Amino acid sequence: MARAKGTDRAEARRRYRAYLKAQEEAEAGSEGEAPATTLEARSRGRSSQDFKPLPAQTAQRPGIMGAARAAYRPVHYREDLRFIVPLVTRTHAVWPVLALTLVAIPLALSRPNVKDDPVLNLIGYFLSQTPIVPAMIAGFLAPRATWLAGLIDGLIVGVGLIVVVVLAGATQLGVDKVPPDQVLGVSVRILSAAVPFCALLAAGTGWYKRFLAAMPGSGPRQQQRRKAK
């Protein structure tokens, strides 16, 4: 009887210990789920905040100084030189100057070299050692590499002016007819003036074009309003 009672008591203690262990495991599991639930809620909150649309920011156009800085472009000589073929063949920065030069040369040669000839005076704005009009054409019509477009146009105009002064001379264009032994010197002088002048002025014209585009009031809506007026 005593042995049976001892066995019953040991079994009861074993069951009680198992019960306590189960209770502890249950409490530990409930405590472990709480932080996970909290973390999940936090993550949901963060994700919902991440997908909230940002407040719209109104685009503000820069002022005069900002437009001047935005219009500046650094010169990339290698990339610009690789662009020379599309610049000549696919843009309007070069071929109009070439066409006008081919028209201006015979027109200047056919005119009498008299003072105050209006035709020669008009040609003088184009065929000149300081070719302003070709430089402006290059600067406004070249999408990039405006200095290169101006250099090419200055070379074209310089050669045209050399042809005129060598064949006939034109006082209204700033030079007289030169003798054969001075052709080389006069040609170098014309090209050394026309080519860099046209390149620099074309680069400045390209900057001015971008400056006007970046100025306040030059957006599409403003342009549409101007057209409507």
pLDDT digits over 92-123, tens only? Answer: 999 999 999 999 988 888 876 666 778 777 88
Residue 162: Cβ within 10 Å count: 21
β-bridge mates for residue 175, sequence order: 170
Confidence of residue 146 (pLDDT cuts 50, 70, 90): very high
pTM here? Answer: 0.62
- Whether 173 contacts 128, CB under 8 Å: yes
Task: Report DSSP state, residue 52.
Answer: S
- Whether 87 contacts 148, CB under 8 Å: yes
Report the alpha-carbon distance of residue 47 to residue 142 in Å, rounded.
49
23-77 pLDDT, tens digit per residue, is: 676 666 544 444 445 445 455 554 444 444 444 444 455 566 665 666 667 777 8
166-196 pLDDT, tens digit per residue, is: 777 655 455 566 677 777 888 899 899 999 9
What pLDDT score does 62 carry? 56
3-state class (DSSP) for residue 59? coil
Residue 224: CA atoms inside 13 Å, Cβ hemisphere, count? 3
